[in-house]
A and B are shown apart, each in its own frame.
Chain A
Amino acid sequence: MAGTVIGEGLSIEGDVTSDEEVVVQGNLRGKLTSTDAVSIGPSSVVQADITGQSVSIAGQVVGDITAPERVDIQAGGRLVGDVKAARFTIADGASFKGAVDMEV
């Protein structure tokens, strides 16, 4: 149901913008911006700032995350970067390093 799926074998180097849900299972280096939900899968390696309505991270991300609604780092996920969101969760087993701003 996601409008855009970047599959496991795909790597993108550059900017991605979208109005739809974006699911990333591959690699991304650059920038990702969506007005809808963004989900980074467990196999992903991302080096990019990510902006989405909500952002869920189960893979590896280096970059700043901005989401009006929420940011969740799943177990196994790893984020190095700053987070700006109204809600933020870090699951047991997740890694995180960065600054957090929950002011909406």
Chain B
Amino acid sequence: MARPSFDISVLGPSTRVTGRLTGAGSLRVEGSVRGDIQISGDAEIAEGGSVEGNVTADALEIAGTLLGDVVSGGPVAIRSGAVVRGELRGSEISIEPGSRVSARLVADFELDLGPLPPIAAAKRR
């Protein structure tokens, strides 16, 4: 598939995919996917949709269920009603009330609060 495509793919509500989805273009999952998704477009897990696997995309919107890790080049928006478990990585992450999220956020950085100035007679520390 040499041609770049910006189509939107849709997996309807009764569609089940067991396997990997890769490619260009955007994807809307209304059914269920068990396997990894790796696309260079926007991914959306619609309400009622579910993905059990990792998702890599340019942006991700989740209103359904995601059990797996997310790597987004852009935003990750978790809507009310979503269920998300896994690791989240994205440029910005928003989580709305009514969602059920239990996820790890991973960013590689050092957090150095800096030294505290000494205190006279400080015993602790």
Any A–B CB pair closer than 8 Å: yes
B33 CB to closest chain A CB (Å) equals 9
Partner pick for A30 among B12, B19, B24, B26, CB 8 A cutoff: B19
How long is the Cα–Cα vector from A20 to B22 in the complex, in angstroms?
22
With contacts A8-B5, A9-B5, A11-B1 known, is A3 near B12, CB below 8 A? yes
- Assembly CA distance A14 to B23 (angstroms): 14
- Residues in B with CB closer than 8 Å to A2 are 12
A10 within 8 A of B: yes
- Give Cα A30–Cα B4 distance, bound, in whole angstroms: 22
Tell me whether A6 is interfacial, beta carbon within 8 Å: yes
Chain B nearest Cβ from A46, distance in angstroms: 12
Which residue of A17, A18, A26, A30 is within 8 Å of B9 (Cβ)? A26
Closest B residue by C-beta to A34: B15
Q: Is A7 close to B, CB under 8 A?
A: yes
In the complex the two chains form, is A20's CB within 8 Å of B7's CB? no
The 10 closest A-B pairs by CB, nearest first: A14-B19, A9-B5, A7-B7, A3-B12, A9-B24, A9-B25, A19-B14, A7-B9, A8-B5, A18-B15
Is the C-beta of A99 less than 8 angstroms from some C-beta in chain B? no
Number of A residues contacting the other chain (C-beta, 8 Å)?
26
A101 at the interface (CB under 8 A from B): no
Judge whether A8 and B17 touch: CB under 8 Å: no
Verify A18–B8 contact, CB threshold 8 A: no
Q: Is B41 an interface residue (CB 8 A)?
A: yes
* Pairs across A and B, CB under 8 Å, 6 listed: A13-B21, A13-B22, A14-B17, A15-B17, A15-B18, A16-B18
